[in-house]
A and B are shown apart, each in its own frame.
Chain A
Amino acid sequence: QQQVKQSPQSLIVQKGGIPIINCAYENTAFDYFPWYQQFPGKGPALLIAIRPDVSEKKEGRFTISFNKSAKQFSLHIMDSQPGDSATYFCAAINSGGGADGLTFGKGTHLIIQP
């Protein structure tokens, strides 16, 4: 059972464009939603995270939008650059559930063309 569904699987955007990656979750007990960025040959790196008590969070050029009623959240990258080309993973966790492991989406392979 895939508890976090991520789309699209791959995405190509021109430099300066705004790629948008979407995730949907099923478990309403999830209460922390991080995004990870992974470059080839590297481990995932925490990028930005949000809790469901806010609808939006910005850190630099990265923005998470959160829709609790729809059980969806998305990552926007403003003024995208070729250096943003990477695989992005959304994840979720139920912080009060006693289980600390992250449930990951399948990932989005993002290419920013110069």
Chain B
Amino acid sequence: QSVLTQPPSVSAAPGQKVTISCSGSSSNIANNFVSWYQHLPGTAPKLLIYDNNKRPSGIPDRFSGSKSGTSATLGITGLQTGDEADYYCGTWDNSLTAGLFGGGTKLTVL
């Protein structure tokens, strides 16, 4: 059971929009930056969002991030079949003094 809670799966049709939530607490999300990663099997995870809502260079603006209180959200618009992957949120926990990842969300583009 992860400290950060994500839905196990989400799905949407090509071209549509999807959001993935990440729920935490005052010891982690509420007081630390949140990052989001895309992970395809057999490859290294890719950073999509950092500092809650910033995109690294090369990441299209179809990907967006937001944070409010103890929750964060990843949004993906204009879904493409190539977006099918596992998505993880990550942050630091001040009480555990440890890094955390959410349990991961599998995105299916129908």
Q: Do A and B bind each other?
A: no
| B residues whose Cβ falls under 8 Å from a Cβ of A | none
| A residues whose Cβ falls under 8 Å from a Cβ of B | none
